[in-house]
Amino acid sequence: MTSWQELLIDLAVIAIFVGGIAQFRTPIGARRGNLTAALAFAIALALLVYRNTIGDTAVVVVAFLLGGGVGYVVSARVDMTRIPALVAFQNGAGGGAACLVSFVELTREGAELAAVNQVFGYVGLVVGGATLAGSIVAGGKLAGWFRQRPTALPAHNLLLFVLLAGGAALAVLAGPAGESAATLPVAGVAAASLALGALFAVRVGGADMPVLISFLNTFSGLAAAFVGVALGNQMLIAAGAMVGSSGFILTMVMARAMNRRVGSILVGSQLAEGAPVAPAESEPAADPSPAQAAENAPAPVFDDPAVRARRALAGATSVIIVPGYGMAVAQAQGEVATLASKLEAGGKLVRFAVHPVAGRMPGHMHVLLAEAEVEYDKLFEMDDINDDFATTDVAIIVGACDVVNPAAITVEGTPISGMPILRAHEAGAVIVCNLDEKPGYSGVPNPLYDDPDTILMLGDAKETVPQLWGRNGG
- What residues act catalytically? 402
Gyration radius from the chain CA atoms: 27
Closest CA to 273 of 445, 447, 444, 448: 444
Segment 276-285 long-range contacts (CB within 8 Å, at least 24 positions apart): 276/445, 277/407, 277/410, 277/411, 277/444, 277/445, 277/447, 278/411
470's torsion region: left (phi>0), alpha (psi -120 to 50) or beta?
left
3-state SS, residue 108: coil
Measured torsion, CA atoms of residues 297, 298, 300, 305, in degrees rounded to the nearest 10: -150
Looking only at Cα atoms, what is the longest distance across the chain?
Answer: 100
* Distance, CA of 324 to CA of 327 (rounded, Å): 6
Distance separating alpha carbons of residues 216 and 206, to the nearest angstrom: 16
Residue positions counted in the chain: 474
* Cβ-based neighbour number of residue 155 at 10 Å: 10
The C-alpha atoms of residue 102 and residue 120 are separated, in whole angstroms, by 9
Helices (H), 154-286: 156-173, 183-202, 209-231, 234-257, 262-266
Compute the Cα dihedral for 252, 257, 260, 264 and give only its sign.
Answer: negative
Is the CB of residue 186 less than 8 Å from the CB of residue 107? yes
Q: Write the burial class of residue 331 (CB in 10 Å: 0-12 exposed, 13-18 middle, 19+ buried).
A: middle
- DSSP class of residue 292 equals H
> Using an 8 Å Cβ cutoff, are 89 and 136 in contact?
yes
The amino acid at 390 = A
